[in-house]
Structure 1
Amino acid sequence: MKSLLNALLLLAITSIYSQNTFSGKITDSQTSEPLSFVNIYFSDLEKGTVTNENGVFQIENIPTGKHQIIFSMIGYETQSVSINISTETKFEIKLMPTAIEMESIIISTPFHKLQSENVMKVEQKSVKELKSSGAVTLAEGITNIAGVESITTGLSIGKPVIRGLSSNRVLVYTQGIRLENQQYGDEHGLGVNETGIESVEVIKGPASLLYGSDALGGVLYLNPERFANTNSSSGDFGGNYFSNTQGYSTNAGVKVSGDEFKFLFRGSLAEHADYKTNDYRVTNTRFREQDLKAGIAYHNNAFKTEFRYNVNQSKLGIPEDIGIQNTNRMPLLPYQEVTNHVFSSKSTLFFNDSKLDISLGYIYNNRKEFEEHHHDEDEDHHDEDEHDEDEHEEEEHHDEADEILEAALNMKLSTASYDVKYSLPNLGKVETIFGVQGMNQVNANYGEEALIPNATTNDIGVFATSHIHFDKADIQLGARYDNRHLNIENSLNKTFNSFNGALGFKTNITPAITTRVNLATGFRAPNLSELASDGSHGGTNRYEIGNIDLNNEQNFQTDVAFEFKNEHLELFANGFYNTINDYIFLAPTSEIIDEDPVFRYAQEDAKLYGGEFGLHLHPHPLDWIHFESSFAMVTGKQDNGAYLPLIPANNLTNTIRVEFENNSINQGYAFITLRSTFNQNNVSIFETPTGSYNLLSAGLGGNLTLFKNEVSFSLSGTNLTNKTYINHLSRLKPDGIFNMGRNISLAFTYNL
């Protein structure tokens, strides 16, 4: 062991004394004119710069060895180049003009490549793009990605659904670590604010090879905003206003980077009143959210590390029926108070031809639920003329809240996680990564009630994956073993094990046609709620009973993707077939306990199948106009023929988008979108069918100069026809409560 440490130290010291500089010039391939403000980014170093007015750039303190570099600029084709850096390296590159949107590096997959180079299909969208559509929250914004939906309770609570799978079957990553915030419940939101997040990546399908248990259905990967480029600083502040909820969100941030140290800080506040339909406001959908993100990083030519911290505190009303009609923002009883602390560190040691990545995380989640005292008086909840009575009733709600000393539910979850990966030196055309991941998790109850017992969970997983490059094809393969041990208080200990693997193939049939075939297995160990819950859950209005004898869920998915892309037309077709053994679900019984219907956890083999299909047309010579269309479908059934619950309806989205530039506005755009959701008649035995509906949205935005600084703005409207509708994945559907009506949002960001 000592000799191994000495060898690693010697390699590190050797690298430290290699003071390497990477410089060069970037020009237009057609005109040979120099290009300014081109982004140059080392994906493994997370270090970059931009070209000056002469197209020249220079980056210092680069580790010796092979690195992948991304050259990108709006209006030009993104290029990814692998270069061996030694001493002083000069490089000249020509970028090709194109109307195709700029590509970004994919972080959620292990080899950090552009999507065009990836074997696995990954969807990536910037948060700015998702929010420009008028989404109020991040959970709502991700539904603009084909194949992704959200189980919602009003506006404040939303859980991602990927190809029909949700809750613990979809793993969420933030700040480079897995997010653990009691996400098993469909009435528990993400607990992450969109400010300070740069982009969202979605892996559709089993990703247990990369992430272990809970990635059986896919991964939602949230990329935090980057630090500023070396020897630069920036600041910004912005705000959003939403007409429907008379709500707002504000945020401000600052970033400073020197030669070695980097800092960033961002804070935000959001408040919303009850959302409005065409007929009424949905009582107690109001919420308040505060968020703070901070980070510090250190970088030299052989080592980089960063530490990030995020605290998110929210107070979320839990809607039950239509009652008080006003625009106050203070949640009524019942409500949740959720505080989520996320600490993460990510470090990399660079050797000549290899590297060691170490990610550590700690999450402290405190979830409280405060229940309502029941009154016997009858009220007419729909009469808006009784405004004074509504205000009096709301004061009673607030008085009750002041009297409550302890929450009905008070759950504290502490999770420490680690993720260590070693990237071996390339063996010819083969890239290989070995890794070990795990976590220690403690759940504790401090409230009057205990829905799930106190317990400790320990996970460990080891894996290896390789990417093999051939002249006309790429292959990615890997295998993994996981072990999970649960120590449940006053109950049996449980241990779950699983072997999983993945095999993927990508090739360009022609220069314009790419095909991907991925075969993967995944697993999910039953969570604590499914194994041992026994109590009334105020957030769901049901009594839940766990099953200590549940087995692992185990799945196998086949995913086939075809893409056609030329300068003016893009087509894609992604199909999947997913079989899941021992699928876990809640089934209603005829029992009633404490006035709540009883639901028990059960298992049955199941399958899901469907896909996403679409096109993007930007015809020559009208490259400034874009027509985009996408269709997503999924069917979920148990082997006994019964349909699975909470499967999203098929939907079709059509968008016309124009881009423009003038003397006042740059990167200007305008769009109009029609989203058509079809009937959902394939429902489980305790669901009802949901009707079809069409939602019309539109917006515009761009950048302009104000007081010598750039300001970005957007104006957008959703559900412009004020359609009354119910989404099949709304938890308010059983009560016949509509989703949100027309909303106009105005947003701006001022860059200092």
Structure 2
Amino acid sequence: MEKWLKSISFIFVSIVFFQFNLYAGTTGKIAGRVIDAQTKEALAGANVVILNTSLGASVDLDGTYYIINIPPGVYDIEASFIGYQTVRKQKVVVTVDRTTTVNFELQPTVLETEVVEVVAEREDIIRDLTATSQKVSGAQIRQLPVENLGDILSLQAGVTQDPGGGIHLRGGRSDEIQYYVDGIAVTNPFGRGLAVPVQNNVIQEMEVISGTFNAEYGQAMSGIVNIVTKEGGDQTNVSFSAYSGDFVSTHDDVFMNINHIDPFSQKYVEGAISGPVPLFNKRIYYFISGRFRDEENWLYGKRLHMPSDTADFTSPDPENWAVQYTGDGKIIPMNPSREVSYQAKLTFKPFSNLKMSYNFLGNSSRWKNYDHHNKYNPEYIPTHYSQGITNLFVLTHTISASTFHEFRMSYYWDKYERHCRKDPFDPFYDQGIHKKIDVPQDVFAVGGVDAGFEYRENLTTAIKYDLVSQVNKYNLIKIGVEYRRHDLKDEWFVVRKDEGTNWQLQIDDLSSFAHNYYHKKPLELAAYIQDKIEIEDLVVNAGIRFDYFDPNSKVPVNMTDPSNKRGAPEDYAYRDATVKTQISPRFGLAFPISDRGNIHVAYGHFFQIPDLGRLYENPEFEVIGRFESFIGNADLEPQRTTMYEIGLQQQLIQNLVMNVTCYFKDIRHLAGTKLYKTFEQDEYGQYANNDYGNVWGITASLDLRKMGMISANLDYTYQIAEGNGSDPKQAFYDARNRDESAKTLIPLDWDQRHVLNAIVTVSGKSWGISSISKFHTGFPYTPITTYNRSPNIQLKNEGRRKAEFNMDLRLYKSIHFGKITTRFFVNIENVFDNLRNEYRPEITERDLRVHEPKTFLNSLYEYRFNPATQPMPRLVKVGLDVEM
């Protein structure tokens, strides 16, 4: 109770003392000067307005003005003053959390109706960039051969994507990213991905902050992904897109069924409509979109066996093995995916100083993960299902030209389940669950079914109140508070047959080791203070953040008896997990070294509670056997990172800018493993804050703004990511396998020393070609000298795989029919159909003598060469976009 009172008092004092609140950036700012073109004197009292909006400002005595709270986009800005020509600057780009400088020089005139139109020059140097950040607009996304958010993220400097698809910002673990949508965090506490996927066609602007981010952002140690979604405008707009395709590859020795071409095996349909709601005098606007995706994908199996099949492998002669084949021999997709997503956003502007918006996002998907061992028994593998909805409400009230406040509320719900059949008493399990078949090494599975079930549900409610004020022309103050409550449920069990005389299906009760369930309600609070100081030759972002977390759970006291088998009183056997708090200072500085160059330095402390699933895993703390059990730890301390960076922006020539950044991260208190032994001599693991690591690197990029028909971006990253373990359970797995855990820093699984990305776009008036090329050195791995023997004693990840190259391509041609634009396009992914050759297993002559000639089951090579270790083969998609 005392800690609660201290935390609430801290937040209350922060609000009263500073009188302003902070928000996660969803808007930008325009500032500049208005002067007489001849005398260069300030034109105090001149008006500056953003056309087709209610935003504007008056010029002060020294000629300066600023306009805040501008949604990202492209605008026309107009400056006017009595006795002077009106000047209109067109195509001014405004981005989130950035100040766009727009200066005006007005000529005296007797004809006040004259308007001079000028196309604004886009700033090559971002003057107020105090930490590494990359921004991508919806228009840019539309031109690239990308399908989802992960594709876009993987293009940013300092970002690596591991073979499993996980995104790592500057060498951190994949769960160290916080996602924001329309100014509020919407990260799933299980796994820390985006709670509900946001499709590309609803993104107005996306910012990836991989550097030392401001105090307004929390619960992340590697980076922030900040998404602002589109909203309706004054004109009704309709767009529709449909495309399909299939894999076109020559690697039929690697991918089963890849030479069978079905142009509709990969299907995509999406559409959007936006505009003003009729009869409301352009006070209510809507944006509605939806997408359907159905992918058969590229990994197949063959249904030779059914789960009911059995086999007898006791004979030493493979020719005498007795194996059942009751399958129909049909080719079966083993990594298919289907998804439906939708969005509806309403924006209400009853008055010029009041704006309300409601954003609803929904998603439903199902998929399977390839299982190589069950390639000929595909009915074994379970199906994964997920669905979720996100509700976002934002109320913005503009108090004056320099101050506005916002109230935000979010409610998101998601559900995940995994099983082969929804009903655990389905006859399918009765046939598929039988005594274990001892399949020989390097032989595919015969019969059986995955009898595991998992149900996971999360409901998160968050509230933020923010107020932002440009207190003078130098200081933009932000301070804020946030409340977040999670409601987590997780259940896991295995269906089995009673080993008695009945031999019937059954589910063990919650006291069983094979049935776990928990329902937890952790709480988060935060307060943060930020000041952005902008003077002529200096920009400073300085702030401090306070985080509070209550896990609202218990942990065992006696680790030799975690499940309390000795029957001690509950108050003695378990205690409440402690509340965690953290204060994190952040500082960033940017200053010019010339009129074409800028340097920034930044420093910050970052705090993050581990994935909440790790806190509550195995809630009954059950332990059996030798390292067969692992328990969660609700008393885990916050993981902490200290980050430093220094960077340079330099304009080389007109429209060509170079960025170079050096960074270092010191990572402490990562979730790892601590090993224990019970009084019954059972051995187990528990999460503990004993993993650590560090990352350092340098990124360099060249950004060529469009010159004629060409625009391009080239970025290179050299990075070393080291730690004592890539997986929090690594020490547990090592103990179970009787391996030695690393006692020193080793390369992490996603450590890539060299990464080079190139995006090139060539476009004319009605056509375009864009390409994404990626080159990176290989990931580390632990070599094994002989396949059938234990590895030599050596450091983990001592080996290094070969370098890889990939190119994706998009070609389009537009045809105009009045107000209707039709665009035909072709997307090609993995243009050169590249493989990872070093993944092919080495097979010795001795192995061949044992296994050849081929048995009727499979060859040794076929079993050891898992196609899931290869990149996706060449994919060709053809479609059209329609806009009106």
Counterparts of 1:139-288 in structure 2 under 5 Å?
A: 139-151=150-162, 153=164, 158-184=165-191, 191-207=197-213, 209-213=215-219, 215-224=220-229, 226-230=230-234, 232-244=235-247, 246-257=265-276, 258-275=281-298, 284-288=334-338
Mapped partners of 1:733, 1:181: distance in 2: 35
Aligned match of 1:750: 882
Report the 3-state secondary structure (helix = DSSP H, G, I; strand = E; otherwise coil) of the residue aligned with 2:130.
Answer: coil
Would you say the 8 A contact 2:695–2:722 is kept in 1?
yes
Of residues 105, 116, 135 in structure 1, which corresponds to 2:146? 135
Aligned match of 1:710: 821
Counterparts of 1:78-97 in structure 2 under 5 Å?
A: 80-81=101-102, 94-96=118-120
Distance 1:657 1:160, change over 3 A: closer
Report the 3-state secondary structure (helix = DSSP H, G, I; strand = E; otherwise coil) of the residue aligned with 1:134.
Answer: coil
Counterparts of 1:47-62 in structure 2 under 5 Å?
A: none
Distance 1:655 1:380, change over 3 A: farther
Compute the displacement of 1:331 (Å): 9.6
Distance 1:234 1:451, change over 3 A: farther
Distance 1:254 1:456, change over 3 A: same
Would you say the 8 A contact 1:670–1:698 is kept in 2?
no
Would you say the 8 A contact 1:208–1:500 is kept in 2?
no
Cα deviation code 1:524-563 (max 9, x no counterpart)? 1234333331399xxxx99653334532212211111111
Counterparts of 1:625-636 in structure 2 under 5 Å?
A: 625-626=710-711, 628-636=713-721
Would you say the 8 A contact 2:354–2:398 is kept in 1?
yes
Mapped partners of 1:505, 1:351: distance in 2: 30
Task: Say whether 1:522 aligns with 2:571.
Answer: no
Cα deviation code 1:546-582 (max 9, x no counterpart)? 3345322122111111111231432111111011221
Mapped partners of 1:714, 1:343: distance in 2: 34
Compute the displacement of 1:670 (Å): 2.0
Would you say the 8 A contact 2:232–2:347 is kept in 1?
no
Aligned match of 1:562: 648
Cα deviation code 1:496-524 (max 9, x no counterpart)? 10001111111121111111111111111
Compute the displacement of 1:162 (Å): 0.8
Q: Structure 2 regions of 5+ residues with no counterpart?
A: 1-11, 21-46, 53-65, 81-88, 105-111, 248-257, 259-264, 303-330, 422-431, 494-513, 556-573, 725-742, 783-793, 840-863
Larger radius of gyration: 2
Mapped partners of 1:175, 1:584: distance in 2: 30
Counterparts of 1:632-651 in structure 2 under 5 Å?
A: 632-638=717-723, 640-643=743-746, 645-651=748-754
Task: Say whether 1:44 aligns with 2:103.
Answer: no
Mapped partners of 2:442, 2:243: distance in 1: 30
Report the 3-state secondary structure (helix = DSSP H, G, I; strand = E; otherwise coil) of the residue aligned with 1:529.
Answer: helix
Distance 1:544 1:703, change over 3 A: farther
Compute the displacement of 1:699 (Å): 2.6
Mapped partners of 2:266, 2:872: distance in 1: 13
Task: Say whether 1:306 aligns with 2:357.
Answer: yes
Cα deviation code 1:8-33 (max 9, x no counterpart)? 9xxxxxxxxxxx994769xxxxxxxx
Aligned match of 2:366: 315
Distance 1:125 1:725, change over 3 A: farther
Aligned match of 1:678: 777
Aligned match of 2:408: 359
Aligned match of 1:469: 534
Of residues 854, 861, 870 in structure 2, which corresponds to 1:738? 870
Would you say the 8 A contact 1:206–1:216 is kept in 2?
no
Distance 1:350 1:204, change over 3 A: same
The alignment covers a number of residue pairs equal to 644
> Cα RMSD (Å) of the superposition?
4.6
Mapped partners of 2:226, 2:90: distance in 1: 22
- The one-letter amino acid of 1:336's match is H
Distance 1:547 1:71, change over 3 A: same
Compute the displacement of 1:313 (Å): 0.8
- The one-letter amino acid of 2:392's match is S
Counterparts of 1:436-475 in structure 2 under 5 Å?
A: 436-446=481-491, 448=493, 453-475=518-540
- The one-letter amino acid of 2:175's match is N
Would you say the 8 A contact 1:473–1:505 is kept in 2?
yes
Report the 3-state secondary structure (helix = DSSP H, G, I; strand = E; otherwise coil) of the residue aligned with 2:551.
Answer: strand
Mapped partners of 1:471, 1:571: distance in 2: 22
Mapped partners of 2:346, 2:772: distance in 1: 40
Compute the displacement of 1:494 (Å): 2.9
Mapped partners of 1:454, 1:314: distance in 2: 24
Report the 3-state secondary structure (helix = DSSP H, G, I; strand = E; otherwise coil) of the residue aligned with 2:216.
Answer: helix
Aligned match of 2:700: 613
- The one-letter amino acid of 2:874's match is R
Report the 3-state secondary structure (helix = DSSP H, G, I; strand = E; otherwise coil) of the residue aligned with 1:209.
Answer: coil
Aligned match of 1:692: 802
Mapped partners of 1:132, 1:288: distance in 2: 24
Of residues 457, 461, 480 in structure 2, which corresponds to 1:416? 461
Task: Return the structure number with greater strand share.
Answer: 1
Compute the displacement of 1:484 (Å): 0.6
Mapped partners of 1:425, 1:614: distance in 2: 33
- The one-letter amino acid of 2:802's match is S
Q: Which range is displaced more, 168-177 or 356-365?
A: 168-177
Distance 1:447 1:72, change over 3 A: same
Distance 1:724 1:79, change over 3 A: same
Compute the displacement of 1:602 (Å): 5.0
Would you say the 8 A contact 1:317–1:331 is kept in 2?
no
Compute the displacement of 1:426 (Å): 1.6
Would you say the 8 A contact 1:635–1:647 is kept in 2?
no
Cα deviation code 1:298-335 (max 9, x no counterpart)? 11211111000111111121222265599xxx997322
Compute the displacement of 1:142 (Å): 1.9
Compute the displacement of 1:92 (Å): 6.1
- The one-letter amino acid of 2:170's match is R
Compute the displacement of 1:674 (Å): 3.7
Would you say the 8 A contact 1:365–1:412 is kept in 2?
yes
Aligned match of 1:13: none
Q: Structure 1 regions of 5+ residues with no counterpart?
A: 9-19, 26-40, 59-67, 104-113
Cα deviation code 1:128-170 (max 9, x no counterpart)? 64565433432233211222233464xxxx4432112234311
Compute the displacement of 1:454 (Å): 2.2
- The one-letter amino acid of 2:750's match is I
Task: Say whether 1:339 aligns with 2:387.
Answer: yes
Report the 3-state secondary structure (helix = DSSP H, G, I; strand = E; otherwise coil) of the residue aligned with 2:552.
Answer: strand
Distance 1:242 1:634, change over 3 A: farther
- The one-letter amino acid of 1:193's match is Q
Aligned match of 2:475: 430
Distance 1:325 1:627, change over 3 A: farther
Task: Say whether 1:123 aligns with 2:134.
Answer: yes
Aligned match of 2:569: none
TM-score by length of 1: 0.74
Mapped partners of 1:691, 1:726: distance in 2: 10
Mapped partners of 1:271, 1:177: distance in 2: 30
Mapped partners of 1:704, 1:670: distance in 2: 12
Compute the displacement of 1:629 (Å): 2.6
Aligned match of 2:92: 71
Cα deviation code 1:374-410 (max 9, x no counterpart)? 6767999999xx9xxx9xx9xx99xx89xx9xx8111
Counterparts of 1:595-614 in structure 2 under 5 Å?
A: 602-614=689-701
Distance 1:136 1:424, change over 3 A: closer
Task: Say whether 1:478 aligns with 2:531.
Answer: no
